């Protein structure tokens, strides 16, 4: 596997001793080796807070609260997890991993690409959580493949499991990955000021982060010169 070191960010911090140039490096596999840069899928984001009607994602975008939907209310009535941990952001996108798309076939449409990326990237823990549910959903299908055999299944068999799982989740208004991430405890409520900070533009967040780092430099300078 090819690894390279590249500069990902540069900026100038103001310290008591004068300007300081900060350079951030990253060492790893080049994006073009791992990702299909010609394709995009929507990105999953953590639900960081709640308003009265929406889930505020860590990126600042919002989704309607799942726990307030009819499906969420039904799950709550059965004592099942009904608060979203992660949601598919309607705005943020990313390039899919080539290996993920190779595990689950797709026809190139946006919806099929999303499913292939979602299921191709399932971790071992995700598959262990999904296995009992898929066993129940496929109980009436003789000879149906099992999620526990995921690594040895053919791409077509994986696509069949994905179709079953997504069909189930869609009835709840979720993707299968969103369903797997449901939790019992809600995210914390957010204040209007907190929402403004979370929804700040990337430029505003960079300015805020730079000021924070400059304050940290000043505190360190004071400790060093006491």
- pTM, two decimals, is 0.79
Q: Structure tokens of 16?
A: 């008591």
Looking at the domain assignment, is residue 2 inside a domain? Answer: no
Looking at the domain assignment, is residue 202 inside a domain? Answer: no
Looking at the domain assignment, is residue 111 inside a domain? Answer: yes
Cα-trace Rg, the chain = 22
Q: Is 190 helix (H, G, I), strand (E, B) or coil?
A: coil
Looking at the domain assignment, is residue 91 inside a domain? Answer: yes
HSE value, Cβ hemisphere, 13 Å, CA-based, for 66: 32
Residue-number span of the structural domain to which 167 is assigned: 35-190
Helix (H) or strand (E) holding 116: helix 110-120
Q: Structure tokens of 20?
A: 């300081």
pLDDT value for 212: 83
pLDDT value for 4: 67
Looking at the domain assignment, is residue 203 inside a domain? Answer: no
pLDDT value for 73: 97
Alpha-helical (H) ranges within 26-109 are: 31-34, 70-77, 98-103
Looking at the domain assignment, is residue 21 inside a domain? Answer: no
CA dist 121 and 99 (Å) reads 8
Looking at the domain assignment, is residue 113 inside a domain? Answer: yes
Tally of structural domains, the chain: 1
Find tokens 């496929």 and name the residue.
138
pLDDT value for 57: 94
Looking at the domain assignment, is residue 150 inside a domain? Answer: yes
pLDDT of the chain along its 226 residues, tens only? Answer: 667 676 666 767 676 766 767 777 777 766 666 889 999 999 999 999 999 999 999 988 999 999 999 999 999 999 999 999 999 999 999 999 999 999 999 999 999 999 999 999 999 999 999 999 999 988 877 778 888 899 999 999 999 999 999 999 999 999 999 999 999 999 999 888 887 887 777 787 787 878 888 888 788 878 887 7
pLDDT value for 112: 96
pLDDT value for 17: 64
């Amino acid at each position: 596997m090819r690894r390279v070191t590249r500069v990902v960010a540069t900026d100038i911090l103001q310290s008591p001793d004068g300007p300081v140039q900060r350079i951030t490096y990253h060492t790893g596999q080049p994006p073009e080796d791992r990702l299909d840069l010609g394709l995009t899928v929507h990105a999953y984001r953590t639900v960081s807070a709640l308003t009265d009607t929406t889930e505020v994602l860590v990126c600042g975008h919002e989704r309607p609260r799942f726990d307030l939907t009819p499906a969420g209310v039904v799950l709550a009535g059965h004592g099942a997890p009904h608060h979203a941990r992660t949601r598919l952001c309607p705005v943020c996108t990313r390039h899919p991993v080539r290996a993920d798309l190779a595990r689950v076939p797709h026809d190139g449409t946006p919806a099929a690409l999303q499913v292939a990326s979602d299921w191709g990237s399932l971790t071992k823990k995700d598959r262990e959580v999904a296995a009992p549910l898929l066993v129940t959903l496929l109980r009436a299908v003789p000879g149906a493949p099992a999620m526990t055999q995921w690594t040895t299944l053919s791409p077509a068999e994986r696509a069949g499991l994905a179709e079953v799982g997504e069909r189930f989740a869609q009835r709840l208004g979720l993707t299968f990955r969103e369903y797997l991430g449901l939790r019992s405890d809600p995210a914390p409520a957010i204040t209007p000021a907190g929402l403004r900070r979370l929804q700040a533009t990337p430029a505003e967040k960079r300015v805020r982060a730079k000021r924070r780092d400059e304050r940290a430099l000043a505190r360190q300078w004071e400790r060093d010169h006491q």
